[in-house]
Amino acid sequence: MIQACLHCGDPIPPLSDGGEGFCCKGCAGAYNLVNDLGLTTYYERRTLNPDVKSLRPEDDELLIDYRRHVLSEKGTNTLYLMVEGIHCAACVWLIETALARQEGVIQARVNMSTRRLVLKWTDEEIDANRLVSIINDLGYRLVPYDPSLMNSENEKSEKELLRAMAVAGFATTNVMLFSVSIWAGGQDMSIVTRDLMHWLSALVALPAVAYAGRPFFRSALTALFAKRSNMDVPISLAVILAAGMSLFQVIQGAEHAYFDSSISLLFFLLIGRYLDRRARGRARGAAEQLLGLNCSGVTVLNKDGTKSLLSAEQVEIGMTVLCTAGERITVDGTILDGQSDVDTSLISGESVPTPVSINDQVFAGTTNLSAALRIKISATGEATVLAEIVRLMEEAEAGRAKYVAIADRVARLYAPVVHILAFATFLYWITLGDAVWNEALLNAISVLIITCPCALALAVPVVQVIASARLMRQGILVKTGTALERFASVKSIVFDKTGTLTLGRAELINHNDIDADQLKIAASLAGASKHPLSRALCRAVPHIGVKSNVEEIPGHGLKSGDIRLGSRAWCGLDKAPVHSGPELWLNIKGQTPVCLKFEDQIRLDAKDIIQRLQGLGYQIHLLSGDRIEPVQKVAKNLSIKNWHAVCSPTDKCQHLEKLNDALMVGDGLNDAPALASALVSLSPSTAIDVSQNTADAVFQGHKLKPVLEVLGVAKKCEKLVKQNFVLAFAYNGITIPLAMAGHVTPLFAAVAMSTSSLVVIANALRLSRGKI
Amino acid sequence: MESLLYLIPVALFLGGMGLAAFLWALKSGQYDDMEGNASRILFDDDDSPFPPESPRK
């Protein structure tokens, strides 16, 4: 077994400078620091998460000047930080405790859900940089953020809805209590008691309506000012009129008051709206989390040899940037120093890493694989390849017609009908019906209350909330509101190859042809390297100790004594037969050289899923930026007839414009414009951030099944929404005539309203289980 | 019927207390970090970083 470092849990490399049990000096230092603070229990409690940044402290100190970000107020200094490297709750405890032990610190609180730290201390003398350095030394990475800029908008409106819901809930239960007594009391109740009950209802309901109705009133007003009507207009009208009319009735000492209808209507609607907002906010939050802390910035080498960390906007042409192995390159530039391999699959779809050395061009969005590079920036901001693609994407997005959600389409038709019916009722009663004006108005209001909104306003959100919760459990994050509806109308599906149909990483394919001992030797060398082929080899031959004295020559290979592992040139085998994919050669002195062949493997279930999708009647297309040969191979393997290789981002866009109702599934930067121009789009969570941002939904995991799943759920969702509309309209068909005839009492309204809502919710709940 | 005279205010008061408690909890950030709080409860008291009465926002 490979020995794991006591601090960070990474395997210990053969030549460790950290001493016994540690992978590096930094880890040894961090371990001692934890010991000195008396917090050693941390190591017993934690569970390391392989997806999170390793706890190894960075050797090269990055200079973020935290002092600039300190907010001082009344002797309290506050620093807002995002923390990278939180593995579990024990990390939270370690960070909080380590900071709390520092003098002057009055608050150190990590929010584990959002990975944010709020640090407060009193003493002006304390240097923020020194304070924060403790946490940096433990291996976490801290990036300051501006709390006013982080998506507080969404959180705020979510909280407002929750508050409104709490108030409406409180008022509903209490008003219902009074109403039930009135209904139960019937004729036996004295008029004085009844009026008392009515007045108490008014006392509770009116302020509650005024407070809890604000989200609806606001949206209705906005719509009216824009000369449109949405679902919130009849809702607001019904609630306000019902409350106002009831107050008038109570003043008159009349028999019926509709406070309970008015407030319970609000309560039901707020539940729907809150769930809707929360499900979406959560999916979006999770999607942001997936993108990681991308604002970590660019490491710039200053002229005097020091390093500083700048944000992507601050860098200028001519600066020298350091990019370590495994890091994503964030600028366009030429290589000044270093030799490495660059993974360009996210930009071009090319599946084999390209070796690069001095004077080669590299582009933002690619990943530096094997060794540190010094890059001279040749373009920034708008001039980079990345910006070019983003621009293409924005154009595609603007060209896409704005999709109107089904609920809004229904509301557009429905809202005027409701208003006209209510108005007609009023007219009828006041003219032909011989009613006094307040009785006519009462009938009109009961039409408004009865008709609308409850079941109808719940019809869509409840189904969508349950659908996105179900998808989220399966690792699919639906980010945009109308995405599910658009998924349901998809007719053709366009796949990208590298990273979408395939896993986007090389796997050893010929282990059966190779002698087991030689494989073990190769793996023992590979363990010392972070090159993707070495890592693939280690995955294929696990649990092999790392050989000592392995030397890595970037761009060529590995060497240990007489054993060489690396490119054909490195092993001196230029004339060996060529393999179409990536390869490694193992050359042990005195033995025949062995070729280890690798291939970007197709996702395990891709063949099955593609077949099932074709069986469901979807047209499948494959568009890739990769060379013809590998694309053809994948297409043949998966029996996809429509395939195109060597597609530029513009080509992909054009292809999509020809197809209507297409779903685009892609991960690369070259797919981003296509993702934006498709009817609806899906990205794996391994995709580049731009693509994940553009895609309507993001899926996690190694399988392609989510594509089938999301389409299935969307179809089911559409069906349920339609059923719900039918249910809601059927209920209206029965109750509207009754309301217009003036037969609706408060008791009737309350019962009808709750049953229709419950029926709609129960129908939607059918989606949460069962097979698609 | 006289019982109503104090039962109704009592009911409203208790309900109002519940509402106030909820609004206070929401405002003081008790619902901000559900994931963290779920784990925090597992830490022993003697190694909690701050004494319980320390100032919170």
Integer Cα distance of A179 and A171 in angstroms: 12
Per the CB < 8 Å rule, is A88 touching B39?
Answer: yes
Please say whether the beta carbons of A83 and A141 come within 8 A: yes
Phi and psi torsions of A684, nearest 5°: -75, 160
Integer Cα distance of A458 and A410 in angstroms: 13
Per the CB < 8 Å rule, is A93 touching B43?
Answer: yes
Chain B residue closest to A163 (CA)? B23
Rounded to the nearest angstrom, the gap between the alpha carbon of residue A538 and the centroid of all alpha carbons in its chain is: 31
Mean pLDDT of the region B5-21: 89
Q: How does pLDDT run across A71-88, given as a tens digit for each residue?
A: 888 788 888 887 877 888
Tell me whether B35 touches chain A (CB under 8 Å): yes
Distance (Å) from the C-alpha of residue B6 to the closest C-alpha of chain A? 13
Distance (Å) from the C-alpha of residue A83 to the closest C-alpha of chain B? 14
Per the CB < 8 Å rule, is B35 touching A113?
Answer: yes
Instruction: From A214, A185, A181, select the one nearest A200 (Cα to Cα).
Output: A181
Instruction: From A397, A426, A159, A202, select the one nearest B27 (Cα to Cα).
Output: A159
Residues of A in contact with B1 (CB under 8 A): 193
Tell me whether A177 touches chain B (CB under 8 Å): yes
Distance (Å) from the C-alpha of residue B46 to the closest C-alpha of chain A? 11
3-class state of residue A761 by DSSP? helix
Tell me whether B22 touches chain A (CB under 8 Å): yes
Residues of B in contact with A177 (CB under 8 A): 11
- Residue B53: predicted pLDDT: 43
Per the CB < 8 Å rule, is B33 touching A111?
Answer: yes
Please say whether the beta carbons of A217 and A435 come within 8 A: no
Q: Which amino acid is at A705?
A: K
Distance (Å) from the C-alpha of residue A164 to the closest C-alpha of chain B? 10
Residues of A in contact with B16 (CB under 8 A): 170
Choose among A39, A166, A204: nearest Cβ to B23: A166
- Residue B57: predicted pLDDT: 38
Q: If pLDDT is split at 50, 70 and 90, which confidence band does A358 have?
A: confident
Mutate to test the interface with B, among A97, A112, A191 (most CBs of B within 10 A): A112
Residues of A in contact with B15 (CB under 8 A): 170, 173-174
Q: Which residues contact A415 (CB under 8 A, 6 or more apart)?
A: A229, A230, A231, A233, A234
Choose among B22, B36, B55: nearest Cβ to A111: B36
Integer Cα distance of A407 and A461 in angstroms: 9
- pLDDT greater at residue A114 or residue A713: A713
Chain A residue closest to B56 (CA)? A107
Q: Which two tokens stand for residue A159?
A: 């909280």
Lowest mean pLDDT among A48-62, A245-259, A434-448, A729-743: A48-62
Q: How does pLDDT run across A617-658, given as a tens digit for each residue?
A: 888 999 888 888 888 888 888 888 888 888 888 888 888 888
Catalytic residues of A: 496
Integer Cα distance of A359 and A362 in angstroms: 9
Could you tell me how many CB contacts below 8 A there are between chain A and chain B?
71
Lowest mean pLDDT among A2-11, A57-66, A611-620, B7-16: A57-66
pTM over 0.90: no
Distance (Å) from the C-alpha of residue A106 to the closest C-alpha of chain B? 8
Mean pLDDT of the region B16-28: 90
Give me the torsion for CA of A522, A527, A529, A532, rounded to 10°.
80
- C-beta atoms surrounding A323 within 10 Å: 26
Q: How does pLDDT run across A731-743, given as a tens digit for each residue?
A: 878 888 888 887 7
Q: Exposed, middle or buried by CB within 10 Å (0-12, 13-18, 19+), for A518?
A: middle
Q: Quote the percentage of chain A above a pLDDT of 70.
A: 85
Q: What b/e string do you get for B28-54 counting C-beta neighbours within 10 Å, with b at 16 or more? A: eeeebbeebeebbeebeeeeebbeeee
DSSP line for A490-559: --EEEE-IIIIIEEEEEEE--GGGS-HHHHHHHHHHHTT--SHHHHHHHHHS-S-PPPSS-EEETTTEEE
Choose among A89, A114, A174: nearest Cβ to B12: A174
Q: If pLDDT is split at 50, 70 and 90, which confidence band does A146 have?
A: low
DSSP line for A207-243: HHHHHHTHHHHHHHHHHHHTT---THHHHHHHHHHHH
Distance (Å) from the C-alpha of residue B23 to the closest C-alpha of chain A? 7
Average of per-residue pLDDT values in chain A: 79
Per the CB < 8 Å rule, is B11 touching A108?
Answer: no
- pLDDT exceeds cutoff 90 at A164: yes
- Put residue A547 in one of left, alpha, beta given phi > 0 → left and psi -120 to 50 → alpha: beta
Residues of A in contact with B39 (CB under 8 A): 88-89, 92, 112
Phi and psi torsions of A196, nearest 5°: -60, -45
Sign of CA dihedral A225, A227, A232, A234: positive
Per the CB < 8 Å rule, is A173 touching B15?
Answer: yes
Instruction: List A142's β-bridge partners, or say none.
Output: A83
Q: If pLDDT is split at 50, 70 and 90, which confidence band does B20 have?
A: very high
Choose among A162, A163, A193: nearest Cβ to B1: A193
- pLDDT exceeds cutoff 60 at A760: yes
Please say whether the beta carbons of A555 and A370 come within 8 A: yes
Per the CB < 8 Å rule, is A170 touching B43?
Answer: no
Choose among B11, B15, B47: nearest Cβ to A97: B47
Distance (Å) from the C-alpha of residue B43 to the closest C-alpha of chain A? 8
Looking at mean pLDDT, say which of A112-116, A408-412, A678-682 comes out highest. Answer: A678-682
Q: Which residues contact A694 (CB under 8 A, 6 or more apart)?
A: A393, A397, A672, A675, A676, A681, A683
Q: If pLDDT is split at 50, 70 and 90, which confidence band does A486 have?
A: confident
- Residue A476: predicted pLDDT: 83
Integer Cα distance of A30 and A26 in angstroms: 6
Per the CB < 8 Å rule, is A174 touching B1?
Answer: no
Per the CB < 8 Å rule, is B54 touching A162?
Answer: no
Chain A residue closest to B12 (CA)? A174
Mean pLDDT of the region A29-38: 85
Sign of CA dihedral A711, A717, A722, A723: positive
Q: Exposed, middle or buried by CB within 10 Å (0-12, 13-18, 19+), for A327?
A: middle
Give me the torsion for CA of A208, A209, A212, A213, rounded to 10°.
-170
Mean pLDDT of the region A348-375: 78
Tell me whether A167 touches chain B (CB under 8 Å): yes
- pLDDT exceeds cutoff 60 at A291: no
